[in-house]
Structure 1
Amino acid sequence: MLLIIGCTTGRPPDDLDRVFVEVRPLDYARRLCRLEPMLERHTCMTEVVSHYREVRGRDRPAQDATEGPFVAFIDDVLYRGRYVSNPFAAAFTVSDGATICRGRYSAFAGDTKPIFRVHCSDGRQGQAQIVLDQTGRNGIGRLSMANGMAGDILFGDAAIPEGFR
């Protein structure tokens, strides 16, 4: 138990080199709602926090930990999609309606770190890194494209309300 407490104490939510970090509902809300107009941002953030608290308290099947919604903001454009994962491999597919981006990593294919190689249908390439929140079913991450574009990642049923899927 002491080891688990030591892994999260004093770590900011963006420390992607950890196995998991403390991500508060407000951290998800800030990331998801940052593109909302100022007059609507509070309502959006309240919805995200309420959704997280409601969904996190439900008894859900184990399958919810191996697949779910996945959102990426690439250079302030919202991409929506899904992820699938197991302990040794994971993949996601997201789209903004015109461009599709896919990321994957696989220990079976020789990847030594859980860093996703990202390829988009418009030719962009990059990488993404994620970290789980303390529930192990949701999380955040960062995406960096070779052309300098970057953005945030959020994933999981509790982290992403229906309006963002």
Structure 2
Amino acid sequence: MFRILAVATAAASVLISGCLPPPPGHFGSFATPVTPDEYGRRLCRHLELEDYAACLSEVLGYFEEPRPDDLPYGRNSNAGPIALVLDRRVYLGRYDGSPLVTRFRVTHGNQSCQGGYDAFAGSTDAILDVQCSDGRRGWADLTSALDGRNGIGRLELEDGTQAEIVYGYTALGQAEPYPYVHWTPPAD
């Protein structure tokens, strides 16, 4: 009986915390409508103006191509490619998520960042703690698109550096090869 009560209490805590106001600077929702334009702005914002327009056109063109939605459910429903645009560089990797545990790892050359939260280990919100290989730390806030399989996010490091996040197969296709390779600065 105690175990059932503990599980019910934990589940209620997670649900209630979703109803509380978000911490300052956080999105504050689990799902939001995300347009192809929004994905494009996040993936191309780091570029100079003349390259930004071409990159945005390529992203929008990617969304106009008809593709079957044949991604199998199961493990791939809550996992997939992720892109992080940090310091004008595109870091690529994979995320694995569920409502109670989420992790991601991205790399650019020999630099990497990883983050996650684990409600079972005491995380009290769905904000991911992040640590980068250069020693910087911070947090990431992810919000799903309405389809629940893709989304956007924001990363903020303790030094004030901010980054854009895009994740999911619809938004990126796959991380390797990155579909917008022409707009990825070379690795250091």
What TM-score bracket applies, with the shorter chain setting the length? 0.7 to 0.9
If the length of structure 1 is used for normalisation, what is the TM-score?
0.82
1:86 paired to 2:102: no
Residue 48 (structure 1) aligns with: 59
Residue 166 (structure 2) aligns with: 154
Q: How many residues align?
A: 152
Higher alpha-carbon deviation: 56-65 or 117-126? 56-65
Task: Give the superposition deviation at 1:16.
Answer: 1.5
SS at match of 1:159: helix
1:94-148 deviation per Cα after TM superposition (whole angstroms, max 9, x unaligned): 1121211110101111111111000111111111001001111111111010111
Residue 163 (structure 1) aligns with: 179
CA distance 1:156–1:39, shift in 2 (3 Å): same
Once the two structures are superposed, the pairs formed by residues 56-67 of structure 1 within 5 Å of their partners are: 58-62=69-73, 63-67=75-79
User: 1:152, 1:103 → 2: CA distance?
Assistant: 14
Once the two structures are superposed, the pairs formed by residues 7-156 of structure 1 within 5 Å of their partners are: 16-54=27-65, 58-62=69-73, 63-156=75-168
Which amino acid is 1:32 matched to? L
SS at match of 2:53: helix
User: 2:180, 2:109 → 1: CA distance?
Assistant: 13
Say if 1:55 and 1:158, in contact at 8 Å, map to a contact too. Answer: no
User: 2:66, 2:30 → 1: CA distance?
Assistant: 22
Task: Give the superposition deviation at 1:54.
Answer: 4.1
1:65-117 deviation per Cα after TM superposition (whole angstroms, max 9, x unaligned): 21111111223222111111122111000112121111010111111111100
Q: Name stretches of at least 5 consecutive residues in structure 1 with no aligned partner.
A: 1-13
Residue 18 (structure 2) aligns with: none
SS at match of 1:41: helix
If the length of structure 2 is used for normalisation, what is the TM-score?
0.73
Aligned alpha-carbon RMSD (Å):
2.2
Say if 1:51 and 1:158, in contact at 8 Å, map to a contact too. Answer: no
Say if 1:89 and 1:106, in contact at 8 Å, map to a contact too. Answer: yes
User: 1:120, 1:83 → 2: CA distance?
Assistant: 15
Which amino acid is 1:42 matched to? A
User: 1:157, 1:96 → 2: CA distance?
Assistant: 19
Higher alpha-carbon deviation: 74-83 or 142-151? 74-83
Identity of aligned residues (%): 36
Which amino acid is 1:136 matched to? G
Q: Name stretches of at least 5 consecutive residues in structure 2 with no aligned partner.
A: 1-24, 182-188
